[in-house]
């Protein structure tokens, strides 16, 4: 099962662990916010609507950050861009702990989003270019699984800090934890080289302009990939942004009690990432996307709409995390295979983060809808809509399993 890892060179393994750690710490910084929402609402520092606006603003800015970072990765290198984005989101996550109200938190959280979006764009391209085509789904998907590791660490730290530190200080302490990713930049700088496909393309010096991703050769690919990313992330953020609040306010589960529910979801999330990573190499990218989108919609609807006991809800948390996270494993390898090397960063950065930018409105819509609907119902409705969009996009995409990475000349016949 780990033949893809054994085939990597020493530099390839260093790249894998740098990307894995970067994604995990990215998740840590992003998910911290979902755990402080109930506390900040309880302290009258935020309303539900304001909490949703901040979540949306972070994701909208991450869309711009992701596209910009993708362009930087094509021009200056994948590794250098990865360093910059990791350091950026770490600093601004910690800065959130120094804020004093809604507007300062909105500004800091939005600036954090710029780095958050950029880190995925740089890291996904970097890993996709160092792995052989036959292993790309497994390797890139396995890197994606680190998101659940960071989410799990955030859940554990939040539970401990919220239990032992007074609420007025606990939410600040959690944001300060966000400085940890800054340490990763030193390892990236020392051990991770630029991938060979980028070096060859950069040396050739005949790159098309960034706007070529909207040109006649690629506009249809860009549109479909963006809708695919919109559906996956719209469903995911509808669930994860509001899940701690849902458990505490509608299910009346304590902070300590909610940890067990969240950890089941997070363990399911890790398993879903890994299983989907292997499956997209086994059955293909398209079928994998369709299966996970349909199953995600079904499980979310059950979790939020059906009257079930707490024990059944605990068990359902595993498939909820499994399918909602597994939808992402095929995204990095698919986008890598659909774009030429000279535009790979810009293409992946735009599609994934344009999808994220539109998906950013889902937490706000859920927060606003919860004023007239139960929170669980609002989460379920918007998640099902999002996964429906993802399924439609997946049906239109070509199958790319095993495809070798192309250059702009390969794709356009030299024109």
pLDDT one-digit tens code per residue, 89-122: 888 989 999 998 899 999 999 998 888 778 888 8
Residue linked to tokens 């944001």: 175
- 41 burial (CB, 10 Å; 0-12 / 13-18 / 19+) is middle
CA distance 336 to 349: 10
Tokens of 104: 């300062």
Q: What is the pLDDT of residue 253?
A: 63
CB 274 within 8 A of CB 142: yes
Determine which of 42-56, 89-103, 180-194 has the lowest per-residue pLDDT on average: 180-194
Percent of the chain with pLDDT over 70: 96
Q: What is the pLDDT of residue 185?
A: 76
Query: Which residue, among 95, 60, 49, 25, has the nearest Cα to 242 in the 3D structure?
Result: 49
CB 92 within 8 A of CB 108: yes
Q: What is the pLDDT of residue 172?
A: 92
CA distance 113 to 55: 9
CATH superfamily placement of domain 7-183+209-412? MFS general substrate transporter like domains (1.20.1250.20)
Q: What is the pLDDT of residue 381?
A: 86
388 pLDDT band, cuts 50/70/90, is: very high
CB 135 within 8 A of CB 336: no
Q: What is the pLDDT of residue 205?
A: 66
Packing angle of the helix pair 219-240, 310-326 (nearest 10 deg): 160
Mean pLDDT of 128-152: 89
> Half-sphere exposure (CA, 13 Å, Cβ side) for 53?
11
249 pLDDT band, cuts 50/70/90, is: confident
Query: Which residue, among 92, 98, 259, has the nearest Cα to 173 in the 3D structure?
Result: 98
Determine which of 28-42, 304-318, 328-342, 398-412 has the lowest per-residue pLDDT on average: 304-318
258 pLDDT band, cuts 50/70/90, is: low
CB 351 within 8 A of CB 226: yes
Give the containing element (helix H, strand E) for 27: helix 10-42
Helix, strand, coil percentages in the chain from 3-state DSSP, rounded to 5: 80, 0, 20
Mean pLDDT of 347-368: 86
CA distance 240 to 148: 11
Q: What is the pLDDT of residue 293?
A: 93
CA distance 360 to 62: 9
Question: Which residues are within 8 A (CB) of 277 and not within 5 positions of it... i.e. 6 or more apart?
Answer: 137, 138, 139, 140, 141, 142, 144, 145, 329, 330
What is the overall mean pLDDT for the chain? Answer: 86
């Amino acid at each position: 099962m780990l033949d893809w890892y054994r085939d990597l060179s020493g530099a390839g393994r260093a790249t894998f662990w740098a990307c894995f750690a970067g994604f995990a710490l990215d998740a840590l910084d992003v998910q911290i916010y979902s755990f402080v929402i109930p506390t900040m609402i309880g302290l009258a520092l935020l309303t539900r609507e304001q909490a949703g606006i901040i979540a949306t603003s972070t994701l909208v800015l991450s869309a711009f950050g992701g596209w910009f970072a993708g362009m930087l990765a094509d021009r200056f290198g994948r590794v250098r861009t990865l360093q910059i984005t990791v350091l950026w989101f770490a600093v601004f996550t910690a800065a959130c702990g120094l804020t004093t109200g809604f507007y300062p938190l909105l500004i800091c959280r939005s600036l954090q989003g710029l780095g958050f979006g950029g880190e995925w764009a740089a890291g996904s391209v970097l890993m996709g270019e160092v792995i052989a085509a036959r292993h790309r789904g497994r390797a890139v998907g396995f890197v994606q699984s680190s998101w659940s590791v960071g989410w799990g660490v955030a859940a554990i730290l939040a539970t401990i800090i919220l239990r032992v530190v007074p609420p007025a200080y606990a939410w600040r302490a959690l944001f300060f934890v966000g400085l940890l990713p800054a340490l990763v930049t030193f390892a990236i700088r020392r051990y991770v080289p630029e991938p060979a496909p980028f070096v060859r393309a950069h040396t050739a010096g005949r790159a098309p302009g960034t706007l070529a991703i909207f040109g006649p050769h690629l506009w249809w690919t860009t549109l479909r990939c963006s809708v695919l990313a919109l559906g996956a992330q719209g469903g995911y953020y509808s669930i994860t942004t509001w899940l701690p609040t849902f458990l505490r306010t509608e299910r009346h589960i304590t902070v300590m009690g909610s940890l067990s529910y969240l950890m089941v979801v997070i363990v399911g999330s890790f398993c879903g990432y890994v299983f989907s990573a292997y499956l997209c190499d086994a059955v293909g990218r398209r079928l994998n996307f369709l299966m996970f989108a349909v199953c995600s919609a079904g499980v979310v609807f059950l979790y939020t709409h059906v009257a079930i006991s707490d024990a059944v809800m605990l068990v359902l948390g595993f498939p909820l995390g499994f399918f909602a996270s597994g939808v992402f494993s095929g995204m990095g390898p698919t986008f890598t295979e659909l774009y030429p090397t000279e535009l790979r960063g810009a293409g992946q950065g735009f599609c994934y983060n344009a999808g994220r930018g539109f998906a950013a409105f889902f937490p706000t819509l859920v927060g606003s809808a919860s004023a007239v609907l139960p929170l669980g119902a609002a989460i379920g409705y918007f998640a099902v809509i999002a996964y429906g969009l993802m399924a439609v996009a997946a049906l239109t995409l070509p199958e790319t399993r095993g495809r070798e990475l192309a250059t702009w000349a390969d794709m356009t016949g030299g024109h």
